[in-house]
Structure 1
Protein backbone atom coordinates (compact mmCIF):
# COMPACT_ATOMS: atom_id res chain seq x y z
CA UNK A 1 0.00 0.00 0.00
CA UNK A 2 2.85 2.42 0.81
CA UNK A 3 5.95 2.67 -1.34
CA UNK A 4 9.49 3.78 -0.58
CA UNK A 5 10.85 4.47 -4.07
CA UNK A 6 9.05 7.79 -4.52
CA UNK A 7 10.89 11.06 -4.18
CA UNK A 8 8.70 14.07 -3.58
CA UNK A 9 11.01 16.54 -5.27
CA UNK A 10 11.87 14.18 -8.13
CA UNK A 11 8.30 13.21 -9.06
CA UNK A 12 6.48 16.46 -8.25
CA UNK A 13 6.98 20.10 -9.10
CA UNK A 14 5.12 23.41 -8.71
CA UNK A 15 4.94 22.71 -4.98
CA UNK A 16 2.99 25.16 -2.82
CA UNK A 17 2.06 24.96 0.85
CA UNK A 18 -1.69 24.78 1.49
CA UNK A 19 -1.78 24.42 5.26
CA UNK A 20 0.27 23.33 8.24
CA UNK A 21 -0.46 22.34 11.80
CA UNK A 22 0.70 20.36 14.80
CA UNK A 23 0.58 17.05 12.93
CA UNK A 24 2.15 17.98 9.60
CA UNK A 25 1.88 19.98 6.39
CA UNK A 26 -0.24 19.76 3.25
CA UNK A 27 1.13 20.83 -0.12
CA UNK A 28 -0.36 21.34 -3.54
CA UNK A 29 1.97 19.56 -5.95
CA UNK A 30 1.91 18.71 -9.65
CA UNK A 31 2.83 15.12 -10.49
CA UNK A 32 5.14 15.33 -13.48
CA UNK A 33 4.17 12.04 -15.13
CA UNK A 34 0.41 12.68 -15.08
CA UNK A 35 0.71 16.47 -15.34
CA UNK A 36 -1.98 16.72 -12.68
CA UNK A 37 -2.23 18.54 -9.35
CA UNK A 38 -2.68 16.63 -6.09
CA UNK A 39 -2.66 17.35 -2.37
CA UNK A 40 0.26 15.73 -0.54
CA UNK A 41 0.10 15.53 3.24
CA UNK A 42 3.39 14.99 5.08
CA UNK A 43 3.40 13.63 8.63
CA UNK A 44 5.70 11.64 10.86
CA UNK A 45 5.53 7.91 10.17
CA UNK A 46 3.60 6.79 13.26
CA UNK A 47 0.83 4.35 14.15
CA UNK A 48 -1.73 7.17 14.15
CA UNK A 49 -0.80 8.34 10.66
CA UNK A 50 -0.88 4.77 9.35
CA UNK A 51 -4.41 4.40 10.71
CA UNK A 52 -5.39 7.48 8.70
CA UNK A 53 -3.94 5.93 5.53
CA UNK A 54 -5.59 2.56 6.16
CA UNK A 55 -8.95 4.29 6.59
CA UNK A 56 -8.60 6.47 3.50
CA UNK A 57 -7.56 3.49 1.39
CA UNK A 58 -10.81 1.72 2.35
CA UNK A 59 -13.08 4.68 1.61
CA UNK A 60 -14.44 5.61 -1.80
CA UNK A 61 -17.32 8.08 -1.70
CA UNK A 62 -18.09 11.30 -3.53
CA UNK A 63 -18.24 13.24 -0.24
CA UNK A 64 -15.03 11.85 1.28
CA UNK A 65 -11.64 13.11 0.16
CA UNK A 66 -10.10 10.55 -2.19
CA UNK A 67 -6.85 8.77 -1.39
CA UNK A 68 -4.44 7.69 -4.14
CA UNK A 69 -1.23 6.36 -2.62
CA UNK A 70 1.42 6.91 0.03
CA UNK A 71 5.13 6.41 0.50
CA UNK A 72 7.85 6.96 3.09
CA UNK A 73 10.99 9.04 2.95
CA UNK A 74 13.79 9.68 5.40
CA UNK A 75 13.27 13.43 5.15
CA UNK A 76 10.28 15.72 5.45
CA UNK A 77 9.59 18.66 3.21
CA UNK A 78 9.29 22.02 4.91
CA UNK A 79 8.37 25.46 3.66
CA UNK A 80 10.57 28.29 4.87
CA UNK A 81 10.30 32.03 4.34
CA UNK A 82 13.67 33.74 4.27
CA UNK A 83 14.27 37.20 5.63
CA UNK A 84 14.70 38.53 2.08
CA UNK A 85 11.22 37.16 1.18
CA UNK A 86 12.66 34.53 -1.16
CA UNK A 87 10.86 31.23 -0.67
CA UNK A 88 12.90 28.05 -0.52
CA UNK A 89 12.16 24.44 0.29
CA UNK A 90 14.46 22.53 2.59
CA UNK A 91 14.60 19.10 4.07
CA UNK A 92 14.62 18.50 7.78
CA UNK A 93 14.97 15.51 10.04
CA UNK A 94 12.94 14.95 13.16
CA UNK A 95 14.67 14.88 16.50
CA UNK A 96 14.40 11.09 16.72
CA UNK A 97 15.24 10.49 13.03
CA UNK A 98 11.80 9.06 12.29
CA UNK A 99 10.71 8.47 8.74
CA UNK A 100 8.09 10.66 7.13
CA UNK A 101 4.86 9.49 5.56
CA UNK A 102 3.68 11.18 2.36
CA UNK A 103 -0.05 10.80 1.64
CA UNK A 104 -1.21 11.65 -1.89
CA UNK A 105 -4.87 12.71 -2.11
CA UNK A 106 -7.22 14.57 -4.40
CA UNK A 107 -6.78 18.31 -4.46
CA UNK A 108 -9.61 20.41 -3.05
CA UNK A 109 -10.30 24.11 -2.96
CA UNK A 110 -8.37 25.96 -0.26
CA UNK A 111 -11.66 27.32 1.13
CA UNK A 112 -13.13 25.17 3.89
CA UNK A 113 -16.66 25.08 5.26
CA UNK A 114 -15.39 27.29 8.08
CA UNK A 115 -14.46 29.92 5.48
CA UNK A 116 -17.84 29.50 3.77
CA UNK A 117 -19.70 30.07 7.06
CA UNK A 118 -17.64 33.16 7.84
CA UNK A 119 -18.38 34.58 4.39
CA UNK A 120 -22.11 33.95 4.73
CA UNK A 121 -22.13 35.58 8.15
CA UNK A 122 -20.97 38.82 6.53
CA UNK A 123 -23.43 38.70 3.62
CA UNK A 124 -26.97 40.05 3.64
CA UNK A 125 -28.68 36.83 2.62
CA UNK A 126 -32.27 36.19 3.55
CA UNK A 127 -32.88 33.32 5.97
CA UNK A 128 -34.48 31.33 3.16
CA UNK A 129 -31.49 31.76 0.82
CA UNK A 130 -29.02 30.71 3.48
CA UNK A 131 -31.20 27.79 4.54
CA UNK A 132 -31.41 26.45 0.98
CA UNK A 133 -27.64 26.65 0.46
CA UNK A 134 -26.92 25.22 3.90
CA UNK A 135 -29.28 22.27 3.48
CA UNK A 136 -27.60 21.37 0.18
CA UNK A 137 -24.22 21.29 1.96
CA UNK A 138 -25.62 19.50 5.02
CA UNK A 139 -27.12 16.77 2.85
CA UNK A 140 -23.70 16.01 1.37
CA UNK A 141 -22.00 16.02 4.78
CA UNK A 142 -24.61 13.62 6.11
CA UNK A 143 -24.12 11.33 3.11
CA UNK A 144 -20.37 11.22 3.71
CA UNK A 145 -20.69 10.58 7.45
CA UNK A 146 -23.31 7.89 6.86
CA UNK A 147 -20.85 6.13 4.55
CA UNK A 148 -17.98 6.48 7.05
CA UNK A 149 -20.15 4.87 9.72
CA UNK A 150 -21.25 2.15 7.29
CA UNK A 151 -17.55 1.36 6.88
CA UNK A 152 -17.32 1.02 10.68
CA UNK A 153 -15.23 4.12 11.30
CA UNK A 154 -15.66 7.10 13.63
CA UNK A 155 -14.19 10.37 12.39
CA UNK A 156 -14.00 11.99 15.87
CA UNK A 157 -13.03 15.43 14.56
CA UNK A 158 -15.93 16.65 12.45
CA UNK A 159 -15.92 20.44 12.30
CA UNK A 160 -16.20 23.11 9.59
CA UNK A 161 -12.41 23.41 9.24
CA UNK A 162 -12.19 19.71 8.29
CA UNK A 163 -14.91 19.87 5.65
CA UNK A 164 -13.62 20.90 2.23
CA UNK A 165 -14.97 21.62 -1.22
CA UNK A 166 -13.85 19.67 -4.28
CA UNK A 167 -12.68 21.46 -7.40
CA UNK A 168 -16.18 21.02 -8.85
CA UNK A 169 -17.88 22.32 -5.70
CA UNK A 170 -18.92 19.08 -4.02
CA UNK A 171 -18.47 18.69 -0.25
CA UNK A 172 -15.51 16.57 0.87
CA UNK A 173 -14.94 15.33 4.42
CA UNK A 174 -11.22 15.39 5.19
CA UNK A 175 -8.59 15.12 7.92
CA UNK A 176 -8.91 11.57 9.22
CA UNK A 177 -6.01 11.99 11.65
CA UNK A 178 -8.17 11.02 14.66
CA UNK A 179 -10.21 8.29 13.01
CA UNK A 180 -10.87 5.06 14.90
CA UNK A 181 -12.78 1.85 14.29
CA UNK A 182 -16.35 1.70 15.52
CA UNK A 183 -16.11 -2.02 16.32
CA UNK A 184 -13.37 -1.56 18.92
CA UNK A 185 -14.56 -1.97 22.50
CA UNK A 186 -14.13 0.53 25.33
CA UNK A 187 -13.33 3.65 23.33
CA UNK A 188 -12.62 6.28 25.98
CA UNK A 189 -9.71 8.26 24.50
CA UNK A 190 -9.95 12.04 24.73
CA UNK A 191 -9.70 12.97 21.05
CA UNK A 192 -11.19 15.77 18.99
CA UNK A 193 -11.70 19.53 18.99
CA UNK A 194 -13.20 20.56 22.36
CA UNK A 195 -15.94 22.84 20.98
CA UNK A 196 -17.27 19.98 18.83
CA UNK A 197 -16.74 17.05 21.19
CA UNK A 198 -19.64 15.18 22.74
CA UNK A 199 -19.72 15.15 26.58
CA UNK A 200 -18.71 11.48 26.74
CA UNK A 201 -15.58 12.24 24.67
CA UNK A 202 -14.47 14.83 27.20
CA UNK A 203 -15.22 12.89 30.37
CA UNK A 204 -13.58 9.55 29.63
CA UNK A 205 -16.82 7.64 29.18
CA UNK A 206 -17.18 4.89 26.60
CA UNK A 207 -18.47 6.29 23.31
CA UNK A 208 -19.35 5.21 19.78
CA UNK A 209 -20.23 6.69 16.38
CA UNK A 210 -22.87 8.91 17.98
CA UNK A 211 -20.13 11.38 18.93
CA UNK A 212 -19.96 12.22 15.21
CA UNK A 213 -23.70 12.89 15.21
CA UNK A 214 -23.28 15.31 18.11
CA UNK A 215 -20.58 17.19 16.18
CA UNK A 216 -22.79 17.24 13.09
CA UNK A 217 -25.55 18.93 15.08
CA UNK A 218 -23.18 21.75 16.03
CA UNK A 219 -21.91 22.06 12.45
CA UNK A 220 -25.46 22.24 11.11
CA UNK A 221 -26.29 24.89 13.69
CA UNK A 222 -23.46 27.06 12.37
CA UNK A 223 -24.59 26.43 8.81
CA UNK A 224 -28.16 27.54 9.41
CA UNK A 225 -27.75 30.38 11.90
CA UNK A 226 -25.37 33.28 12.15
CA UNK A 227 -22.93 32.71 15.01
CA UNK A 228 -20.27 35.26 14.08
CA UNK A 229 -17.79 34.84 16.92
CA UNK A 230 -15.79 31.96 18.29
CA UNK A 231 -17.07 32.90 21.75
CA UNK A 232 -20.70 32.43 20.69
CA UNK A 233 -19.92 29.06 19.10
CA UNK A 234 -18.15 27.98 22.28
CA UNK A 235 -21.16 29.06 24.34
CA UNK A 236 -23.39 26.74 22.30
CA UNK A 237 -21.07 23.81 22.99
CA UNK A 238 -20.77 24.64 26.69
CA UNK A 239 -24.55 24.90 27.08
CA UNK A 240 -24.97 21.39 25.68
CA UNK A 241 -22.16 20.04 27.84
CA UNK A 242 -23.98 21.25 30.96
CA UNK A 243 -27.01 19.08 30.19
CA UNK A 244 -27.25 15.51 31.43
CA UNK A 245 -28.38 13.26 28.58
CA UNK A 246 -28.64 10.02 30.54
CA UNK A 247 -32.43 10.06 30.80
CA UNK A 248 -32.82 10.90 27.11
CA UNK A 249 -30.47 8.11 26.09
CA UNK A 250 -32.56 5.57 27.98
CA UNK A 251 -35.64 6.68 26.08
CA UNK A 252 -34.45 7.55 22.60
CA UNK A 253 -31.04 5.98 21.95
Structure 2
Protein backbone atom coordinates (compact mmCIF):
# COMPACT_ATOMS: atom_id res chain seq x y z
CA UNK A 1 0.00 0.00 0.00
CA UNK A 2 2.82 2.42 0.84
CA UNK A 3 6.46 2.62 1.86
CA UNK A 4 7.03 2.92 5.62
CA UNK A 5 10.80 3.23 5.61
CA UNK A 6 14.08 2.28 3.99
CA UNK A 7 17.32 1.34 5.67
CA UNK A 8 20.63 -0.42 5.27
CA UNK A 9 19.15 -3.78 6.24
CA UNK A 10 15.85 -3.75 4.37
CA UNK A 11 12.80 -1.84 3.24
CA UNK A 12 9.44 -1.83 5.04
CA UNK A 13 6.01 -1.46 3.43
CA UNK A 14 2.45 -1.33 4.63
CA UNK A 15 0.60 -4.25 3.04
CA UNK A 16 -2.91 -5.65 3.21
CA UNK A 17 -3.60 -9.38 3.29
CA UNK A 18 -6.18 -10.01 0.60
CA UNK A 19 -8.04 -12.83 2.29
CA UNK A 20 -8.46 -11.22 5.71
CA UNK A 21 -8.38 -7.54 4.80
CA UNK A 22 -5.95 -6.92 7.69
CA UNK A 23 -2.96 -4.60 7.37
CA UNK A 24 0.58 -5.60 8.27
CA UNK A 25 4.13 -4.33 8.00
CA UNK A 26 6.11 -6.21 5.34
CA UNK A 27 9.89 -6.05 5.53
CA UNK A 28 12.07 -7.22 2.65
CA UNK A 29 15.63 -8.16 3.61
CA UNK A 30 18.53 -10.03 2.00
CA UNK A 31 19.49 -11.86 5.21
CA UNK A 32 17.62 -14.43 7.36
CA UNK A 33 19.25 -13.25 10.62
CA UNK A 34 16.37 -10.98 11.66
CA UNK A 35 13.55 -13.47 11.11
CA UNK A 36 15.43 -16.21 12.97
CA UNK A 37 15.40 -13.99 16.05
CA UNK A 38 11.91 -12.58 15.62
CA UNK A 39 10.31 -16.00 15.21
CA UNK A 40 11.43 -16.88 18.77
CA UNK A 41 10.21 -13.65 20.36
CA UNK A 42 6.69 -13.10 21.66
CA UNK A 43 6.39 -10.15 24.02
CA UNK A 44 4.06 -7.18 24.30
CA UNK A 45 6.97 -4.71 23.89
CA UNK A 46 8.50 -6.32 20.80
CA UNK A 47 7.15 -6.03 17.26
CA UNK A 48 5.23 -9.23 16.63
CA UNK A 49 6.31 -11.66 13.91
CA UNK A 50 3.65 -13.52 11.89
CA UNK A 51 5.20 -15.26 8.87
CA UNK A 52 7.96 -15.19 6.27
CA UNK A 53 8.67 -16.46 2.78
CA UNK A 54 11.43 -16.27 0.15
CA UNK A 55 11.16 -14.80 -3.32
CA UNK A 56 13.63 -14.43 -6.17
CA UNK A 57 13.01 -10.71 -6.62
CA UNK A 58 12.36 -7.72 -4.41
CA UNK A 59 9.18 -5.69 -4.52
CA UNK A 60 8.87 -3.47 -7.58
CA UNK A 61 7.64 -0.33 -5.84
CA UNK A 62 5.37 1.23 -8.42
CA UNK A 63 7.96 0.57 -11.13
CA UNK A 64 10.24 3.26 -9.69
CA UNK A 65 13.92 2.45 -9.75
CA UNK A 66 14.42 4.00 -6.30
CA UNK A 67 11.70 1.81 -4.82
CA UNK A 68 12.91 -1.44 -6.28
CA UNK A 69 15.52 -3.95 -5.22
CA UNK A 70 15.70 -5.92 -8.42
CA UNK A 71 15.83 -3.01 -10.85
CA UNK A 72 19.09 -1.87 -9.27
CA UNK A 73 20.70 -5.30 -9.71
CA UNK A 74 22.01 -6.90 -12.87
CA UNK A 75 20.00 -9.75 -14.38
CA UNK A 76 22.68 -12.27 -13.34
CA UNK A 77 22.47 -11.04 -9.72
CA UNK A 78 18.69 -11.45 -9.75
CA UNK A 79 18.97 -15.07 -10.78
CA UNK A 80 21.10 -16.00 -7.78
CA UNK A 81 19.88 -13.57 -5.10
CA UNK A 82 17.00 -14.38 -2.77
CA UNK A 83 14.83 -11.93 -0.82
CA UNK A 84 13.23 -12.69 2.51
CA UNK A 85 9.77 -11.22 3.11
CA UNK A 86 8.85 -10.82 6.80
CA UNK A 87 5.22 -10.23 7.76
CA UNK A 88 5.03 -8.30 11.03
CA UNK A 89 2.73 -6.30 13.26
CA UNK A 90 1.85 -2.88 11.84
CA UNK A 91 2.85 -0.11 14.24
CA UNK A 92 1.98 3.56 14.24
CA UNK A 93 3.92 5.76 11.82
CA UNK A 94 5.50 7.81 14.64
CA UNK A 95 8.67 6.30 16.11
CA UNK A 96 10.22 7.22 19.45
CA UNK A 97 12.60 9.52 17.56
CA UNK A 98 9.64 11.62 16.37
CA UNK A 99 8.05 11.42 19.83
CA UNK A 100 11.21 12.84 21.39
CA UNK A 101 11.38 15.54 18.73
CA UNK A 102 7.81 16.60 19.49
CA UNK A 103 8.53 16.53 23.23
CA UNK A 104 11.43 18.95 22.78
CA UNK A 105 9.08 21.53 21.25
CA UNK A 106 6.28 21.21 23.81
CA UNK A 107 5.87 23.48 26.81
CA UNK A 108 4.23 20.87 29.05
CA UNK A 109 6.55 17.99 29.85
CA UNK A 110 5.01 14.65 30.85
CA UNK A 111 7.59 13.07 33.16
CA UNK A 112 5.50 10.02 34.00
CA UNK A 113 4.86 9.30 30.33
CA UNK A 114 8.61 9.32 29.65
CA UNK A 115 9.22 6.97 32.57
CA UNK A 116 6.47 4.62 31.39
CA UNK A 117 8.08 4.45 27.94
CA UNK A 118 11.47 3.75 29.57
CA UNK A 119 9.96 0.98 31.72
CA UNK A 120 8.39 -0.69 28.66
CA UNK A 121 11.70 -0.53 26.78
CA UNK A 122 13.44 -2.14 29.77
CA UNK A 123 10.77 -4.86 29.83
CA UNK A 124 11.35 -5.65 26.16
CA UNK A 125 15.14 -5.67 26.57
CA UNK A 126 14.87 -7.95 29.60
CA UNK A 127 12.93 -10.43 27.45
CA UNK A 128 15.43 -10.20 24.57
CA UNK A 129 18.28 -10.94 26.97
CA UNK A 130 16.35 -13.81 28.54
CA UNK A 131 16.37 -15.42 25.09
CA UNK A 132 20.18 -15.14 25.05
CA UNK A 133 20.14 -12.43 22.38
CA UNK A 134 21.72 -8.98 22.05
CA UNK A 135 19.87 -6.36 19.98
CA UNK A 136 22.99 -4.21 19.29
CA UNK A 137 21.13 -1.32 17.64
CA UNK A 138 18.76 0.13 20.21
CA UNK A 139 17.94 3.75 19.39
CA UNK A 140 14.76 5.89 19.22
CA UNK A 141 14.37 5.29 15.46
CA UNK A 142 14.10 1.52 16.09
CA UNK A 143 11.50 1.86 18.84
CA UNK A 144 7.88 2.20 17.75
CA UNK A 145 4.39 2.32 19.18
CA UNK A 146 1.71 -0.31 18.61
CA UNK A 147 -1.82 0.58 17.62
CA UNK A 148 -2.71 0.53 21.33
CA UNK A 149 0.12 2.94 22.16
CA UNK A 150 2.44 0.39 23.79
CA UNK A 151 6.16 0.54 23.11
CA UNK A 152 7.42 -1.93 20.48
CA UNK A 153 11.12 -2.64 19.96
CA UNK A 154 11.85 -3.40 16.32
CA UNK A 155 14.60 -3.71 13.71
CA UNK A 156 16.49 -6.85 14.69
CA UNK A 157 18.82 -6.66 11.69
CA UNK A 158 21.93 -6.64 13.93
CA UNK A 159 20.72 -9.11 16.56
CA UNK A 160 23.30 -11.64 17.72
CA UNK A 161 23.70 -14.37 20.34
CA UNK A 162 24.80 -13.45 23.84
CA UNK A 163 27.71 -15.05 25.73
CA UNK A 164 25.77 -15.84 28.89
CA UNK A 165 28.66 -14.45 30.94
CA UNK A 166 30.81 -17.58 30.81
CA UNK A 167 34.08 -17.05 32.71
CA UNK A 168 35.19 -14.04 30.69
CA UNK A 169 35.30 -16.09 27.49
CA UNK A 170 33.48 -13.48 25.42
CA UNK A 171 32.42 -14.24 21.86
CA UNK A 172 34.26 -12.39 19.09
CA UNK A 173 32.06 -9.84 17.33
CA UNK A 174 32.08 -7.83 14.15
CA UNK A 175 33.50 -4.39 14.92
CA UNK A 176 31.38 -1.23 14.96
CA UNK A 177 27.99 -2.85 14.47
CA UNK A 178 25.29 -0.39 15.51
CA UNK A 179 24.62 3.34 15.42
CA UNK A 180 27.75 5.23 16.62
CA UNK A 181 26.03 7.80 18.84
CA UNK A 182 24.24 5.03 20.80
CA UNK A 183 26.99 2.41 20.75
CA UNK A 184 28.70 1.36 23.96
CA UNK A 185 32.48 2.04 24.13
CA UNK A 186 33.32 -1.67 24.00
CA UNK A 187 31.61 -2.07 20.60
CA UNK A 188 34.85 -0.78 19.10
CA UNK A 189 36.42 -4.03 20.32
CA UNK A 190 35.81 -7.60 19.19
CA UNK A 191 34.47 -8.85 22.51
CA UNK A 192 31.33 -7.60 24.21
CA UNK A 193 28.03 -8.89 25.55
CA UNK A 194 24.43 -7.89 26.23
CA UNK A 195 25.50 -4.95 28.39
CA UNK A 196 25.90 -2.90 25.18
CA UNK A 197 22.09 -2.76 25.10
CA UNK A 198 22.04 -1.34 28.63
CA UNK A 199 24.40 1.48 27.63
CA UNK A 200 22.17 2.40 24.66
CA UNK A 201 19.09 2.33 26.92
CA UNK A 202 20.80 4.72 29.34
CA UNK A 203 21.24 7.26 26.56
CA UNK A 204 17.66 6.78 25.36
CA UNK A 205 16.26 7.23 28.88
CA UNK A 206 18.25 10.46 29.30
CA UNK A 207 16.91 11.68 25.95
CA UNK A 208 13.35 10.91 27.06
CA UNK A 209 13.71 13.27 30.01
CA UNK A 210 16.00 16.06 28.84
CA UNK A 211 14.98 18.77 26.37
CA UNK A 212 17.44 19.82 23.68
CA UNK A 213 16.71 23.20 22.17
CA UNK A 214 19.22 22.84 19.31
CA UNK A 215 21.27 20.17 17.61
CA UNK A 216 24.46 21.94 18.69
CA UNK A 217 23.37 21.75 22.33
CA UNK A 218 22.62 18.05 21.99
CA UNK A 219 26.04 17.35 20.50
CA UNK A 220 27.81 19.04 23.41
CA UNK A 221 25.66 17.48 26.16
CA UNK A 222 25.65 14.03 24.49
CA UNK A 223 29.44 13.80 24.52
CA UNK A 224 29.50 14.50 28.27
CA UNK A 225 26.58 12.21 29.18
CA UNK A 226 28.29 9.28 27.45
CA UNK A 227 31.04 9.81 30.05
CA UNK A 228 28.55 10.03 32.96
CA UNK A 229 28.83 13.83 33.14
CA UNK A 230 25.25 15.07 33.40
CA UNK A 231 23.93 18.66 33.33
CA UNK A 232 23.54 19.91 36.90
CA UNK A 233 19.95 20.90 36.20
CA UNK A 234 19.18 17.32 35.18
CA UNK A 235 20.67 15.95 38.41
CA UNK A 236 18.61 18.44 40.41
CA UNK A 237 15.29 17.97 38.57
CA UNK A 238 15.53 14.21 37.98
CA UNK A 239 17.52 12.91 40.92
CA UNK A 240 15.74 9.52 41.04
CA UNK A 241 16.13 8.97 37.31
CA UNK A 242 19.75 10.13 37.46
CA UNK A 243 20.52 7.44 40.05
CA UNK A 244 19.11 4.84 37.61
CA UNK A 245 20.67 6.16 34.39
CA UNK A 246 24.22 6.91 35.60
CA UNK A 247 25.17 3.25 36.33
CA UNK A 248 23.81 2.26 32.91
CA UNK A 249 26.56 4.37 31.33
CA UNK A 250 29.46 2.87 33.27
CA UNK A 251 32.58 2.39 31.17
CA UNK A 252 32.96 -1.17 32.44
CA UNK A 253 30.08 -3.38 31.19
CA UNK A 254 30.12 -5.49 34.37
CA UNK A 255 29.27 -2.38 36.41
CA UNK A 256 26.05 -1.77 34.46
CA UNK A 257 22.77 -3.19 35.82
CA UNK A 258 20.92 -6.11 34.26
CA UNK A 259 17.70 -5.30 32.40
CA UNK A 260 15.65 -7.11 35.04
CA UNK A 261 16.96 -4.85 37.84
CA UNK A 262 16.55 -1.82 35.60
CA UNK A 263 12.89 -2.59 34.95
CA UNK A 264 12.27 -2.97 38.68
CA UNK A 265 13.98 0.36 39.47
CA UNK A 266 11.87 2.16 36.88
CA UNK A 267 8.66 0.59 38.18
CA UNK A 268 9.51 1.77 41.70
CA UNK A 269 10.33 5.25 40.38
CA UNK A 270 6.91 5.45 38.69
CA UNK A 271 5.21 4.27 41.89
CA UNK A 272 6.98 6.98 43.91
CA UNK A 273 5.97 9.58 41.36
CA UNK A 274 2.35 8.43 41.52
CA UNK A 275 2.40 8.52 45.34
CA UNK A 276 3.82 12.04 45.25
CA UNK A 277 1.02 13.16 42.90
CA UNK A 278 -1.60 11.64 45.21
CA UNK A 279 -0.06 13.39 48.22
CA UNK A 280 -0.01 16.64 46.31
CA UNK A 281 -3.69 16.36 45.37
CA UNK A 282 -4.59 15.49 48.97
CA UNK A 283 -2.75 18.51 50.32
CA UNK A 284 -4.45 20.85 47.88
CA UNK A 285 -7.89 19.41 48.67
CA UNK A 286 -7.35 20.04 52.37
Residue in 2 that maps onto 1:165? 145
Give the CA deviation at 1:204: 1.7
Counterpart-to-counterpart distance in 1, 2:143 and 2:149: 12
1:192 aligns with 2:174: no
SS of the residue corresponding to residue 44 of structure 2 reads coil
Runs (4+) of structure 1 exceeding 6 A deviation are none
In structure 2, the CA distance between the partners of 1:111 and 1:240, relative to structure 1 (3 Å rule), is: same
1:52 maps onto 2:31 in alignment: no
Match of 1:5 in 2: none
Check conservation: 2:196, 2:253, Cα contact below 8 A.
Answer: no
Q: Whose helix proportion is higher, 1 or 2?
A: 2
CA distance in 1, matches of 2:6, 2:195: 29
Deviation at residue 92 of structure 1 after TM alignment: 3.1
Among 39, 47, 50, the alignment partner of 1:65 is 47
Aligned position for 1:12: none
Q: Residue 116 of structure 1: which of 86, 89, 99 is its match?
A: 99
Number of residue pairs the alignment of both structures matches: 224
Number of the residue aligned with 1:94: 73
* SS, match of residue 93 in structure 2: strand
Superposed CA RMSD: 2.6
Measure how far apart 1:250 and its partner are. Answer: 9.3
Per-residue deviation, 1:163? 0.2
Equivalent position of 1:150 in the other structure: 130
DSSP-derived class of the 2:189 partner: coil
Q: Matched residue of 1:189: which SS?
A: coil
- TM-score, normalising length: structure 2: 0.71
Is the alpha carbon distance of 1:250 and 1:68 closer, same or farther for their aligned partners in structure 2, counting shifts above 3 Å?
closer
Relative to the length of structure 1, the TM-score reads 0.80
Look up the match of 2:89.
106
Q: Is the 8 A contact 1:75 1:92 kept in 2?
A: no
Q: How far apart, CA to CA, are the structure 2 residues paired with 1:164 and 1:242?
A: 27
